[in-house]
Chain A
Amino acid sequence: MPIGSNQTTAPAFAAGSSFARQDLRLPRQRDAWTYCVSPTRLFCVDGQILPELAKAWHTPGIQGNPAGTNRGQGFVGNMIAQGYQPVPHDLPCKAFGAPRAGSPVSTYLDRYDGVSRGRRVVYYSDAWHRPRQLGHLTSWEHDRAGWLDFLAQCLALVSPDGLVDLQVQLAVAPVLRRVRAAQDRDDARGRRMLGQLLSHLPAEHVPDDLRHLVESEPKPKTARRRKE
């Protein structure tokens, strides 16, 4: 039906009007948090030993947080008592190649407003994930390299002089146990698991009997033959 005298706007399903704007689809409501880093909570990822950060949520009523607006004081206080150190929200860092200095919420958090299951929600994400709307779906891009750099920065807060043997052992030992468990299996899944685990271990900690799996020689180049 053409827009006539008794219809002043285009129908909602017509493209090109303000009705066509889509709200960002978010997974759910998620509150902000403060990252906390411990010198003894470490893991192996992509061949590096990095800290496994803990999220001290700002949600009131969780882990000692007081009621009302707060920045997770209670939760952060609990984490400090367990040997953690809060990561400052103004820590200079980069995400997706751009410096995060001056970001409105935090250098490592972003706030998104959108909808989830028909309701308006606020969703906080770390700065190394960003949403891209695809029709009615949302995909999340991840800057893995930037995230790992950030983890290294966090580690420097608690271990500025590098890692001591105990820290290396705490990070490597659980992965080596999983490596041995995967090695004991004689099936494709076990081999796949072994490959994944070895990809996370720092090269110098790969067991000697498995070194050949991570140091495979480059395949000989075959000359491309032109078809006659």
Chain B
Amino acid sequence: MAAGEWYSNSGIGDANNAVTARGIQAALTAANKNLEASAHPVMQQMLARDQGVGNMLGAVGFGMSFADLGSGKLSAESEGTAATPTNFSTTNVAVTVARRAFAREVSDYARSLQEGLLMGEIGPTAEALLAYEGTRVWINSLVDQIAALASSATNTIGSTGVPLTWSALNEGILDLKDRGAGSGRAMALVTVKGAKDLADDALSLGGAVAMAPQIQQLLANASAGGFVGSFGGVDVYLNSELDTDSGDDLGLLLTDGAVISKHQTVALPREADVLVNAGFYSMELRRPGGSVSIIETVAYNGVTIAENGRMAAIRYAS
């Protein structure tokens, strides 16, 4: 595959090869797994909440205060004694939004020669191809941003320098429940090494664990994409955006409300040639001259850890 812009002699078409015309379809990529992770209810809830608060106004960030409500107790007071008011306390977090962009360049000539070769989900036009890619690029970025938060998570499941075990994951889930976060949906992102560790461990344990339905589903889900299985109520997905640290992989366990995102919906002006305006991101066609189009995908977003108690890093030997 020739690298470069999509011109007649470079990019995806390679029309210089006069042997034969070739169909063009999207290549397999490990980033496919991001689609499944982003479709999990924990991520969807984050995005729904993101949009639910509306657009930012007059500031380049969005703040959230977590008020300590519901953790106190009544105190014994004698009759005739007024209770002393308890001060409110809050923890504040802020999401700052930054512009992210990704662009492609397509020449008119290449399009005229090769657009008819586009197949599958990227056909039948260059616009379809780029709209498809824009969505993927936005999702990849979002998952990558969230995965980057693992190294600053306060709670850790597993230990440095040793494989991930069934027991360590179970303990981590129990710790999560103990922090009060064990109600609602949960998801985890692990590398393939972590998933193999879990599978090996479960099988070596034998007995009830190896025979458990959740292990059986793990063994027979080659068609389930990046979804590994649901263990202890945590939907575990393979992911390739995770970071490494000190010879360990850093996975991530998330529950509802662990992470917040904020996207600013930026309306493109009337003079812009809009390809896609999806709210979370937009795509614009530009004509810089030279018979080419530049298609730019832009999102204005940010992510931050909302409550550390609702998440944990998953650490195991790489």
Take A67-B97, A189-B204, A200-B159 as given contacts and tell me if A142 and B247 are in contact as well, using a CB distance cutoff of 8 Å: yes
Contact with B along A19-63 (1 / 0, CB 8 A): 000000000101000001000010111100000111111011111
| Residue B3, interface by CB 8 Å | yes
Q: Is the CB of B152 within 8 A of A43?
A: no
Contact with A along B293-310 (1 / 0, CB 8 A): 000000001111100100
Q: Which residues of B contact A67 (CB under 8 A)?
A: 60, 96-99
Interface range on chain A (Cβ under 8 Å from partner) = 35 or more
Binds B, one of A2-10, A86-94, A170-178: A170-178
- Complex Cα–Cα for A55 and B243 (A): 10
Stretch among B36-44, B68-76, B160-168 lining the A interface: B160-168
Once the chains are docked, how many angstroms separate the CA of A174 from the CA of B247? Answer: 19
Interface of A is mostly: mixed
With an 8 Å Cβ cutoff, the count of chain B residues facing the other chain is 45
Least CB distance from A48 to B in Å reads 11
Asked if B245 CB lies within 8 Å of chain A CBs, one says: yes
A205 → chain B closest CB, angstroms: 14
Asked whether A181 is an interface residue with its Cβ less than 8 Å from the other chain, the reply is yes
CB of A121 within 8 A of chain B?
Answer: no
A103 touches B (CB below 8 Å): no
* Chain A residues within an 8 Å CB radius of B171: 177, 181
CB-based contact B160/A52 at 8 Å = yes
How far, in angstroms, from A169 to B247 measured CA to CA in the complex? 23
Tell whether, in the assembled complex, residue A54 and residue B151 are in contact, meaning their CB atoms are under 8 Å apart. Answer: yes
Q: Say yes or no: A62 contacts B247, CB within 8 Å.
A: no
Restricting to A151-169, which residues have a CB under 8 Å from any CB of B? 151
For B308, the chain A residues whose CB sits under 8 A away are 82
In the complex, what's the smallest C-beta–C-beta distance from A57 to chain B, in angstroms?
5
The complex places the Cα of A28 from the Cα of B239 at a distance, in Å, of 14
The residues of A that contact B15 with a CB separation of less than 8 Å are none
- The answer to whether the Cβ of B201 comes within 8 Å of any Cβ in the partner chain is yes
Q: Are A43 and B160 in contact (CB under 8 A)?
A: yes
Q: Are B98 and A193 in contact (CB under 8 A)?
A: no
- The interface residues of chain A lying within 8 Å CB-to-CB of B152 are 36, 54-56, 63, 75, 78-79
Give A195's nearest chain B residue, CB to CB: B162
B-chain residues with CB within 8 Å of residue A114 when the two chains form the complex: none
| A51 CB to nearest B CB, Å | 10
Task: Let me know if B96 and A66 touch, CB within 8 A.
Answer: yes
Q: Indicate which residue in A74, A78, A193, A199 contacts B163 across the interface (CB closer than 8 Å).
A: A193
> Which A residues fall within an 8 A CB radius of B?
28, 30, 36, 41, 43-46, 52-57, 59-68, 74-75, 78-79, 82, 117-118, 142, 144, 147, 151, 174-175, 177-178, 181-182, 185, 187-190, 193, 196-197, 199-200
20 A-B residue contacts at CB 8 Å? Answer: A44-B159, A52-B160, A54-B151, A59-B98, A61-B303, A62-B148, A64-B95, A65-B96, A68-B98, A74-B96, A78-B304, A78-B305, A79-B152, A82-B154, A118-B1, A118-B3, A151-B246, A181-B167, A197-B159, A200-B159
Beyond A44-B160, A64-B93, A66-B98, 4 additional contacts (C-beta under 8 Å) are A63-B149, A67-B98, A68-B98, A185-B205
